[in-house]
């Protein structure tokens, strides 16, 4: 699990995504609301001619809403979605998570330069997207 990660800021807290699950980072831009979508789904975003759902990562993690400025486009298998984050901090090596966590959305946490960084489980974070895309419309 150690390796290169994209570190992001969400509602004042630090999180990391494995870089091999990140396709790109984009400006938040215009997001079209989707009636009837879950509260953590902000809507959809046209990214290079492809429509991707955008998840409010703060809401998905049960945090107070931050001020999303960026979308981190993540992919797990056939599922692709944008994660609305307050900021992208950096890209770099993270050691193996040494802290246990109780959140189903995290694989663990690591202390990096005095800051606790939660390592996101992208499969679990994107799970509602894969199940909603299979549901009849």
pLDDT averaged over every residue in the chain? 90
Please return the burial class of 37, using the count of CB atoms within 10 Å of its CB with bins 0-12, 13-18 and 19+.
middle
What digits encode the pLDDT tens for the residues 75-95?
998 899 999 999 999 999 999
Residue 131 has pLDDT above 70, yes or no: no
- At 136 the pLDDT is 35
* Assigned CATH class of 3-134: mainly beta
Indicate the domain borders of the chain.
Answer: 3-134
Nearest-angstrom CA–CA distance, 6 and 122 = 12
Per the confidence metrics, is the pTM higher than 0.75? yes
- At 117 the pLDDT is 96
- At 104 the pLDDT is 94
């Amino acid at each position: 699990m150690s390796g290169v990660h994209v570190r992001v800021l969400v509602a004042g807290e630090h999180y990391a995504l494995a870089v091999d699950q990140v396709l790109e980072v984009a400006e938040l831009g215009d997001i079209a609301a989707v009636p009837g979508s879950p509260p953590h789904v902000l809507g959809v975003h046209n990214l290079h001619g492809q429509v991707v759902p955008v998840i409010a990562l703060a809401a998905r993690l049960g945090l107070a809403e931050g001020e999303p400025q960026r979308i981190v486009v993540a992919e797990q298998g056939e599922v692709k979605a944008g994660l609305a984050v307050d900021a992208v901090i950096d890209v770099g090596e993270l050691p193996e998570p040494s802290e246990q966590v109780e959140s189903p959305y995290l694989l663990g946490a690591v202390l990096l330069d005095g800051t606790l960084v939660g390592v996101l489980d992208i499969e679990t974070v994107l799970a509602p997207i894969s199940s909603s895309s299979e549901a009849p419309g």
